[in-house]
Amino acid sequence: MEISQNQKNDVTVVALAGRFDAQSAGNAEETLKKVLEADGTKILIDMSQVEYISSAGLRVLLSTAKKLAGVSGKLVLCGLKPYVREVFEVAGFTSIFMILPDEAQGLQAF
């Protein structure tokens, strides 16, 4: 998985690409942990290039959301492909996360 991040005003945009599974979850978790440690309380995760997500990927997102809630932060997801969105729906995660169609709308959510 490829992970990149950039700052758009006070929002940290983390873009993920590839498979978000047990092999890549650790790297994603470490990146998000560093954002949180740098006082990043507004995180937009661009998942438009994520082809697959496993329970390990879901766990990282849920853990990050819980940590952000503890510091009055906010996590928004955007760009879910149909298969990935289906996984979120089956897992019941569409009611937990704010999921928007693209980065522009994701940024407006803050």
For the chain, list the domains and their CATH numbers.
2-108 (3.30.750.24)
Mean pLDDT, residues 67-77 taken together: 94
What b/e string do you get for 23-53 counting C-beta neighbours within 10 Å, with b at 16 or more?
Answer: ebbeebbebbeebbeeebbbbbbbbeebeeb
Could you give the angle at the alpha carbon of 46 between the alpha carbons of 42 and 50, nearest 5°?
Answer: 145
How many alpha carbons fall within 13 Å on the CB side of residue 76?
18
Q: Over the stretch 9-59, which tens digit does the pLDDT of each residue have? A: 999 999 999 999 999 999 999 999 999 999 889 999 999 999 999 999 999
What residues have CB less than 8 Å from 102, skipping those under 6 apart? 48, 78, 79
